[in-house]
Amino acid sequence: MAETFAMLQDWVDKGYLSPEAATWDQTIPFQQFAAGSSVFAVNCNWQIAAAKEATFKYGVAPLPISADGGVLLGGEVQNIGAFSKHPDLAKEFLEDSFFSVDGELTLLDTFGSIPARADASASSKISGDPILSVFGDIVQKQGRPSPSPDVPSKNVNDVENLVGNYWSRAVARDGSPDDLANDLIGELTPLLKG
């Protein structure tokens, strides 16, 4: 972790990463990219429409991650209420709609959601598109469940906020890489235990 924080701080020092990134949400990096102010932005397929407005040639590439790393899968959340009078009917509906090949392709058409199912990702709607096909491939090869099953459900928000805050602190040079890593691990460990 200290190595990653040191890399972020080195990128800021070299001008590869704006120090303002410490306060950016996920929309600003793509706006910077689309305006031609940065070489790349880490984002997802929901930016395809905005990318089409760019006045330059662009593409999509998988993240350079280790074999243990992965791209966290987002998506639409569906639930069956604990007090549902017809939980079996609700489950059947979800399986036939959202969780089916046709359902995942409908979500692609409606919201731009990349299917997590390999058989749905094989659709020509994805494989025939030079941008969507890369996203589909990334999901199949690098996709990991989000949130991680290693994080207790009750602590997911706290873990995500904590890690995000430490990344921002590293970019802002709010501590040395070693101190930031040690402090993060100290605060993260009890959250991962439950």
Report the alpha-carbon angle 144-147-80, nearest 5: 110
153 contact partners, CB below 8 Å, separation of at least 6: 147
Tell me the pLDDT band of 186, cut-offs 50, 70 and 90. Answer: very high
Where in the chain does DSSP place strands (E)?
A: 71-72, 143-144
**pLDDT per residue over 2-28, tens digit each?**
999 999 999 999 998 899 999 998 889
Q: Could you state, in order of their start, the residue ranges of all structural domains in the chain?
A: 74-144
**At 194, is the pLDDT very low, low, confident or very high (cuts 50, 70, 90)?**
confident
- CB-based contacts of 160, cutoff 8 Å, min separation 6: 147
Residue-level pLDDT at 45: 77
* pLDDT tens by residue, 123-132: 898 888 888 8
Matching residue, tokens 């602590």: 155
What is the rounded CA–CA span in Å between residue 8 and residue 181?
Answer: 13
pLDDT tens string 131-153: 888 888 888 888 887 778 889 98
Residue type, 83: F
What's the pLDDT score for residue 76? Answer: 65
Rounded CA separation 134/112 (Å): 14
Residue entry with tokens 């929309």:
27
Q: Average pLDDT, stretch 151-170?
A: 93
**In degrees, to the nearest 5, what angle opens at C-alpha 76 toward C-alphas 104 and 28?**
115
148 in Cβ contact with 192 (< 8 Å): no
**Residue 56: in which H helix or E strand, if any?**
none
- In the block, tokens 């070693």 appear at 178
Instruction: Give dist(CA 94, CA 30) in Å, integer.
Output: 33
pLDDT, residue 4, reads: 92
Q: For residue 175, is pLDDT > 90?
A: yes
- Tell me the C-alpha distance between 116 and 141, whole Å: 11
How much is the pTM? 0.72
User: Which 3 state secondary structure label does DSSP give 147?
Assistant: coil
